[in-house]
Amino acid sequence: MRSVQTVFARGTSLARVAAVLTAAILAIPLALGQNTTASAAQENAVGSFTILDFPGAGVKATTALGINNDGEIVGRYDDAQGVRHGYLRTEDGFTTIDFPSAVLTVAAGINDGGTVAGTYVSTDRVRHAFQLRNGQFLSLDPPASLTLSGSPVGINNRGTIVGSYIGQDGHTHGFIYRKGEFTTIDAPNAVETFCNAISDKGEIVGGYQSKADLKFRGYILRGDKFTTIDRPDTSLVNAIGVNDEGSVVGRWAGADGVVHGYVLRRGNFTSFDPPDFLQAPGEANGHEPHGINEEGQIVGYYRATDGRQHGYLLNRNEDTGSDNQ
């Protein structure tokens, strides 16, 4: 059962009665895609990779987390002192995003209006969500939140924000923030639920840990119906980004513990990795596609054979098709 609790944003005194919706979990029949070997030109059968590293001496790691339909990209980087900052990349270059007085900032999603959603950690070591619009920051906390989880935060062109928080029950719950109100999302029969991204159609993708076997699976939420994204040969599947065509990007891990990326488009599950991907077990070494726009451009990050974490922009080949057709 999916539980939905609607309340006003923290600081208001009104509350609405929680509603409970039922949802069916259906397994998608997935056609298994093949990993491809790429050349030194950073191309493979999926498309052409552009590596994104925040400029400057001593930058330790860069990730690309969100992309809008204008090709503007947001993400995070770790500076020479190990401090984590958000960034915005446009045709004019990179700009740092730091929430005021925060000890770290992550910019995770951006819509076509240029509004950015992300997370920051305050000096008391509590994680919060934020919205950055027209140069103004707004801090966001679901009322039942002890702290936000470290999972992604997404935003669509309606300004709706999704993310995940750790509640007073000690479990992780997804949330939707729409027009000043928070709605809690819990997948049926789940121990933990994460909301990672939302399309303009209102389709939400994320992941959940099942009570039955404790396996982590991805999902698509359309209305009040959850559809599971899974593969029998995996130990983990997570859905992280979605566009209006319904294409989904995310990560999966096999029995060897190596974390790969995938794109799910029209029922076809295609696994792919950057050419210089390290291929070592463990999430810290993994590949994580994070965002996808209407042209099918994908952003993400991975651990390379040089030992560094790099962001990337993937322009898919014509034979894979634009998602806007």
* pLDDT value at residue 316: 87
In angstroms, the Cα distances linking 214 to 107, 219, 324 are: 30, 15, 36
Q: Does a structural domain hold residue 151?
A: no
Q: Does a structural domain hold residue 142?
A: no
Q: Is residue 6 over pLDDT 80?
A: no
Does residue 73 contact residue 66 with C-beta atoms inside 8 Å?
Answer: yes
Q: Does a structural domain hold residue 310?
A: yes
Q: Is residue 3 over pLDDT 80?
A: no
Q: Does a structural domain hold residue 162?
A: yes
How many structural domains does the chain have? 1
Q: Does a structural domain hold residue 83?
A: no
Q: What is the CATH number of the domain that holds 196?
A: 2.120.10
Q: Does a structural domain hold residue 114?
A: no
Q: Does a structural domain hold residue 186?
A: yes
Domain interval for residue 58: 22-73+158-320
User: Taking the CA atoms of the chain, what radius of gyration do you get in angstroms?
Assistant: 19
**245-292 tens-digit pLDDT:** 999 999 999 899 999 999 999 999 999 999 999 999 999 999 999 999
Q: Does a structural domain hold residue 99?
A: no
Better pLDDT: 109 or 319: 109
Q: What is the pTM of this model?
A: 0.85
**155-196 tens-digit pLDDT:** 999 999 999 999 999 999 999 999 999 999 999 999 999 999
Does residue 220 contact residue 205 with C-beta atoms inside 8 Å?
Answer: yes
* pLDDT value at residue 323: 54
> Which two tokens mark 15?
């509350």
DSSP string, 227-247: EEE--TT-SEEEEEEE-TT--
Q: Is residue 73 over pLDDT 50?
A: yes
